[in-house]
Amino acid sequence: MKNNEKVEILLVEDNPADAEIAIRALRRHHLANSIVHVMDGKEALDFIFTDGNTPRIILLDLKLPRVGGLEVLKAIKENPDTRRIPVVVLTSSAEESDLVASYDLGANSYLVKPVDFEKFSEAIREFGMYWLLLNNQPE
């Protein structure tokens, strides 16, 4: 699945409802021009390493089937070609161990998905502004 167009956002999320909510929130803030949504860690790794895509940002859920979110994060941050891609960890819990493990592996941001859609939408807007519009990554 090689896109001619540069992929802006890779969303790794197994829950279809959560994925739809996230995509809607992104779209609301006009950040959804080029979103690729994969359902588990294996697909995410294939997309990045097998197909050779380098999205500008990765939204990564931690609780994933097959290959877990932390493993995906580790693979991305250990590879010199991909370790500069900002990874925002998405999760339902603010459990300390997850947070510490994510930052240890090099996560750039950590977003606890709030239940309230309005809050979620606001959070998506803030991080989108920062990572996509303000934070210029070296090409």
Partner 1 sequence: MRVPPITIRRKVQIAAAVVLLITVFVILVAAFTSRQVLRALHQADAAQEIAHAVAELSLLTDAYLAYGEARMETQWRSRAGTIQSLLDQHRSPPAGIDLQLVFDSLTRSFSALEEINREKNLPDSTDGDTAALSRIAERIGSRMRMDSQQLLSGTFSVARAARGHAVTIQKRGFLVVAGAAAILILTILGTVTTLSLTVTRRMQHLLKGVRALGDGLLDQRIRSDTNDEIGIVADAFNTMASRLEQLVWREQKAQEELRTLNTQLEARVEERTEALAAANREMEAFTYSVSHDLRAPLRAVDGFTRFLQEDYGPHLDQEAQRFLDVIRGNVQQMDKLITDLLALSRVTRSDLKSTAIEMEPLVHAIWRETVPEETRRAYTFTVKNMPPAQGDPSLLKQVWVNLVSNAVKYSSTSPRKEIEVGGVAENGEAVYYIRDYGVGFDPAYGHKVFGAFQRLHRSDQFEGTGIGLAIVERIVLRHGGRVWAEGEEDKGATFHFAVPAAPGNEGGRTGEK
Which residues form the interface with partner 1 (CB under 8 A)? 15, 17-18, 20-21, 24, 63, 91-95, 113-118, 120
Beta carbon nearer to partner 1, 7 or 107: 107
Q: Are 64 and 38 in contact (CB under 8 A)?
A: no
Separation of alpha carbons 106 and 115, rounded Å: 26
Q: Which is nearer to partner 1, 21 or 67 (CB)?
A: 21
User: Minimum CB separation from partner 1 for residue 24, in Å?
Assistant: 7
| Residue with Cβ nearer partner 1 (43 or 61) | 61
Smallest distance from partner 1 to CB 111, Å: 13
Q: How far is the CB of 92 from partner 1 (least distance, A)?
A: 4
The CA angle 15-17-20, to the nearest 5 degrees, is: 110
Q: Nearer to partner 1 by C-beta: 57 or 64? A: 64
Q: CA–CA separation, 41 vs 61, rounded Å?
A: 9
In 3-state terms the chain splits into helix, strand, coil percentages (rounded to 5) of 45, 15, 40
Provide, rounded to whole angstroms, the least separation between the CB of residue 121 and partner 1. Answer: 9
Half-sphere exposure of 84 (CA within 13 A, CB side): 9
